[in-house]
Amino acid sequence: MATLDTHDDQLRAEALERLRKRSEFWTHLVVYMLVNAFLVAIWFFAAGGGFFWPMFPLFGWGIGLFFHAWDTFRRPPSEERIRREMQRMHPGSAQ
């Protein structure tokens, strides 16, 4: 019974971590959109449509947002991939 409780606790902790990561990503996305919309508005009203300088923060921050999404939504490795990697690390062991 203790093993089942430990397994449930581990699953709960993993689920909470995934939910926390998703919440942080969506917050990051909203902040990205609001700040960059503000920068584009500044560009539009101040520069009157001149050189589009907001592309620099849009692109730079967008790279960070892309990797944040990748970290948040990628699937965890399968047990098969883990087993194969363990065998590669220690080829002499038979499992």
Predicted confidence (pLDDT) at residue 41 exceeds the cutoff of 80 = yes
d(CA 69, CA 11): 22
Cα(59)–Cα(83) distance, integer angstroms: 38
Tokens of 69: 């999404």
pLDDT score of 1 more than 60: no
Query: What's the pLDDT band for 89 if we cut at 50, 70, 90?
Result: confident
Q: pTM of this prediction?
A: 0.75
